[in-house]
Amino acid sequence: MPIISEIGKRSTKVRLLYTFIYVVLLIGSITMIYPMMLMLSGSVKSDADSWSIKPYPEFWFDDLILFQKYAESKYNNQTIYAQQDWCRQVLSWRSVEKPADVGPELVRDFRSWRETIPSDQRFVGQTFASGMLPKNLRSYRSYMAKKFNNDLNAYNIAANQACTSWSNVRLPTEILGRYLNLNVTGEFRQEIVKWRETIPATELTIEGARGQYALNYLYGIYTSRIENYNQTHGTDFKSYGEITCPATVPAKAGLERDDWTNFVRNDIKLRYLKLDASLEPSFRNFIRGQYESIGIFNKEHRTNLASLEAVPFPANIDDAPYLRRDFEAFIKSQKDCPIESIRICSADEMFKEFLVKKHGKVPENYPGLGAVSASTDWTDCMDNKPAVKWEFTMRNYWQVIDYLAMHGNGMLNTFIFCALAVITALIINPLAAYALSRFRLPGTYKILLFCMATMAFPGEVTMIPGFLLLKRFPLLPILAGLVVTIVVFLLLERIGSKWKESLRALASLAAGLVVGAIIIPALGHEFATTSLLNNFAALILPGMANGFSIFLLKGFFDSMPKELYEAADIDGASEWTKFWMLTMNLSKPILAVIALGAFTGAYSAFMMALIIIPDQKMWTIMVWIFQLQSQAHSSVVYASLVIAAIPTFIIFVLCQNVIMRGIVVPTEK
């Protein structure tokens, strides 16, 4: 029968009451849903949009924010790389605006030229982000794991690295300052080249000398104020991005020539330089002046050349990478290497050559490679908008799953731990509560008070004592005492049948205590204690019996009609039958509550699991997630929390159905 009748519902006051109740419920739901939406939105963010606090991902609906995230990911979260590529200042990803449109023809030409770049000269984007796992870094790990048959040691040897797990594997840095990184062996470099061949050209970064010259070198000399450069050079540029970098030294003497000369001799990446063939005799004289004999040269360069005349002339440093220091020293020598004999040959010059070859000339009003590259990046992002959105939506979740899958047996350990915790909770607690409810012991309420008293102490208080107990657990004394107690009780049943049952039980318990607490420990320390650390027993034993669960079950069992048990007695049911078939069947709602609590406690156990399980092979998901959170981006932390909440949500829904059926459907028929 409803509390408010149909007639009462027509009253204005009652309707206002209903409205007030629904408004309160709606506000309460908003206070729950809004933070959850903020967490879901935060789980797909990165540095480019972490400033935004909205309950939905803005990049789903805003193309500019999507492009900012795309640029951040493509240029490995380094604004300096975007500056050098686009030849314009990028102070932050948030400050990035839509690039100027250079026209579809130049974009098509750039895409065609980009496809022709040799694999060994390609620079792949989306391979690094602080605390995150970009798309191509996942691809690199997958490729190398497959190449080396998941043998991390073999990979470390080949890559000259010392990774402790596949989640620590990073793409080696190939360019260190001006030089090629010689710590990467030639054989492994070829594997990197093969991997690059699998990467689409849209994900390559094109870096020319102009961006490095204007936005790194000149910017560092004349500060951020372009007026300083204009004043000293007599120019009228509005930004450093407008400054060009000629392929050869400016003919006119002055600051521009000096800047270019110093940049080429001291700062530019060596692979961008090409020496005139006329410098070969001068280079050989330079080598003879540096090394007294071929033996000294071979020892320093780890080569096996017959004479100094056999040393190759590196018109480009990539022809002989081991000569990098000699090459650098040679181009710094004004006497041996005239600046007029050095030419810059970077992406800027290569693209111009491509345009001349295709169209016969460079188009009028050509804005430079940087503007074309930026416009192409925008076009690539917009043309692949669904795939880009999907990548940024799922990227952090893939990272969490990848991390958990690559570290030990976290998922399997958690499943076993939670299953055992639920099973033991559904066996131990009902048995204890049933005994207290059915047999009406004199000290029942004292026992309940003792069980409830355990709730007065937070779990942190018992961690250290629990650790010490599990480290020196009296397993053998307990087992021996239990066996002796059972054996003595059975013997007294036969030979001492005239004794009262309580007396037989007391004598049996005393015998077990003497053996377990006195005799076994007296035999020696090795017999008295056993370490239970690093196994599931250490995780399950501390929470096997729960005082609140026993109290809750005891109260539920007390509410069951005595007539049910009397009818079972008349039918000749044993105590086990009454417990299992009758009590447990009618207690499914409360058992669902116990199971939910046991699962939640086991699944979310972190500190205790970390303390009593030092071995990483036995760590559970929560411990690994904590380790991930200490080194991951904040958005990845949000993603890990979302993933960690899914099993709990599923279990809650399943248990909720049982609980609601127990509330709605009467217990007795």
Cα separation, 16 vs 511, whole angstroms: 72
**For residue 485, pLDDT beyond 50:** yes
The DSSP letter of residue 203 is G
What is the rounded average pLDDT for all residues in the chain?
85
* Region of poorest pLDDT, from 185-199, 256-270, 372-386, 413-427: 185-199
Say what the pLDDT of residue 64 is: 94
pLDDT band at 166 (very low <50, low <70, confident <90, very high): confident
Say what the pLDDT of residue 57 is: 92
Say what the pLDDT of residue 526 is: 61
Cα separation, 381 vs 370, whole angstroms: 17
Say what the pLDDT of residue 669 is: 44
**For residue 13, pLDDT beyond 50:** yes
**For residue 32, pLDDT beyond 50:** yes
Q: Find the mean pLDDT for residues 153-161.
A: 88
- Residue ranges of domains in the chain: 8-42, 63-206, 209-367, 407-466+531-664, 474-530
The DSSP letter of residue 201 is G
Q: Find the mean pLDDT for residues 323-348.
A: 88
Cα separation, 472 vs 468, whole angstroms: 6
Cα separation, 166 vs 405, whole angstroms: 10
Q: CB under 8 Å to 237, separation ≥6 — which residues? A: 226, 229, 230, 243
Q: Find the mean pLDDT for residues 518-526.
A: 73
Say what the pLDDT of residue 458 is: 76
Q: What percent of the chain has pLDDT over 90?
A: 18
The DSSP letter of residue 250 is -
Q: Which residue has the higher pLDDT, 408 or 82?
A: 82
* Region of poorest pLDDT, from 53-57, 302-306, 441-445: 441-445
Say what the pLDDT of residue 443 is: 74
Q: What percent of the chain has pLDDT over 70?
A: 94
pLDDT band at 122 (very low <50, low <70, confident <90, very high): confident
**For residue 422, pLDDT beyond 50:** yes
**For residue 180, pLDDT beyond 70:** no
SS3 assignment, position 573? coil
Cα separation, 45 vs 606, whole angstroms: 26
What is the phi/psi pair of residue 388, to 5°?
-65, -45
User: Which pTM was predicted?
Assistant: 0.80
**Separation in Å, CA 601 to CA 144, 418, 421, 615:** 39, 9, 9, 21
pLDDT band at 301 (very low <50, low <70, confident <90, very high): confident
> Is residue 38 within a helix (H) or strand (E), and if so which, with residue range?
helix 12-42
Say what the pLDDT of residue 663 is: 56
pLDDT band at 454 (very low <50, low <70, confident <90, very high): confident
* Region of poorest pLDDT, from 8-12, 195-199, 308-312: 8-12
Cα separation, 606 vs 622, whole angstroms: 6
Q: Which CATH superfamily is domain 407-466+531-664 in?
A: MetI-like (1.10.3720.10)
Q: Find the mean pLDDT for residues 569-573.
A: 83
The two structure tokens encoding residue 83: 């500056």
Q: Find the mean pLDDT for residues 602-628.
A: 84
Say what the pLDDT of residue 391 is: 93
Say what the pLDDT of residue 546 is: 84
> Is residue 369 within a helix (H) or strand (E), and if so which, with residue range?
helix 369-383
Q: Find the mean pLDDT for residues 553-562.
A: 86
The two structure tokens encoding residue 384: 């692949």
> CB 353: neighbour CB atoms within 10 A?
13
Q: Find the mean pLDDT for residues 647-666.
A: 72
The two structure tokens encoding residue 565: 């048990």
Q: Which of 289, 287, 285 is nearest to 322 (CA)?
A: 287
Cα separation, 502 vs 548, whole angstroms: 28
The DSSP letter of residue 98 is P
Cα separation, 520 vs 513, whole angstroms: 10
Say what the pLDDT of residue 98 is: 92
Cα separation, 616 vs 624, whole angstroms: 9
**Separation in Å, CA 525 to CA 474, 475, 528, 529, 532:** 10, 12, 5, 6, 15
Instruction: Give the Cα-Cα-Cα angle 637, 638, 641 (nearest 5 degrees).
Output: 90
Q: What is the DSSP string of 108-161?
A: HHHHHHHHTS-GGG--BSSS--TT---HHHHHHHHHHHHHTTT-HHHHHHHHT-
Q: Find the mean pLDDT for residues 459-464.
A: 75
User: Helices 588-603 & 410-438, crossing angle to 10 degrees?
Assistant: 140
